Amino acid sequence: MDFLVEFEVDVPAGTSDTEVKDRERAEAVAAAKLADEGHLLRVWKRPLSAGEASVLGLYRADSERELDRLVSALPLYEWMTVTVRRLEPHPNDPAAAHETGPSSRSEPVTTDDLPKPRLSLVYRLEARLGEPLDLGETALGRRRIVPQTAGTFRGPEISGRLLPGASADWQMVLRDGTALADLRYTLQTDSGDLLYVRSQGVRHGRPEVLARLARGEDVDAWDYTFRTTTRIETAAPALDWLNKGVFIGVGGRRPDGVIYETYLVG
């Protein structure tokens, strides 16, 4: 059965920006999972007055009860007003005609179209940094080893803490201020499982912005680019999907720490 579902979100007064952003990230992850499972087919925005908009989703479920279960599990559900309209087949539906036409009884048709990649948040890590060990100018550039002394991470499926002593950035700083990151850190989940993470990437931007970062100033992460590619290893059977994933990361530097958001490429 297909359903047209309209969502209007009303954030309660006094809700912190952090909570809103966390729920929105979790909502994006939940939507990607519903799409993978074949329940969420399309999503649109319907403009309302004063620049506001509602969200229209085309859902597929075996019953209204199943649809209710899927929608009520969304992270933003308690802030939503939901309107559901059940859709019935139409005899002139081009998709239905295609599915029941002669071609559907012939050999399967292959296509060169490839699935578009999607990003799903795995975790957000906020780490504190220790005093860097500056090796000076080597043959490749200015080498710095920046220890990560503490931190916590949280995501839709895993959360826990960063282990100091097994976490640092073996960083190379080029003459123009660009930083080449070689991050190797260890995470421990709340259930005690260990994750070894290695991220390699680059942080670059305008010279004046990089100079402010070098002075330890608080610079908005939108003012420069900090991106990484990431691999994750674990011996935990329940988290074996991390060993097989392809991940990318977005970073942000703070005066006394760093933030990494790691995304699974689906």
User: Length of the chain in residues, anyone?
Assistant: 266
Domain with residue 58: its CATH number is 3.30.70.1060
pLDDT in tens, 179-200: 999 999 999 999 999 999 999 9
Containing domain of residue 24, as a range? 2-101
- At residue 53, the pLDDT reads 80
What SS3 state is found at 74?
coil
Alpha-carbon span 148 to 146, nearest angstrom: 7
What are the residue ranges in the chain where pLDDT is below 50? 102-105
Q: Are 185 and 197 in contact (CB under 8 A)?
A: yes
- Tell me, yes or no, whether 21 lies in a domain: yes
Alpha-carbon span 228 to 158, nearest angstrom: 20
- At residue 181, the pLDDT reads 94
- Tell me, yes or no, whether 110 lies in a domain: no
- Tell me, yes or no, whether 114 lies in a domain: no
pTM for this one?
0.60
- At residue 103, the pLDDT reads 47
pLDDT in tens, 13-66: 999 988 899 889 999 998 998 998 899 999 998 887 766 788 999 999 988 888
Q: Encoding tokens for residue 119?
A: 């990003």
Judge if 131 and 251 occupy the same domain. Answer: yes
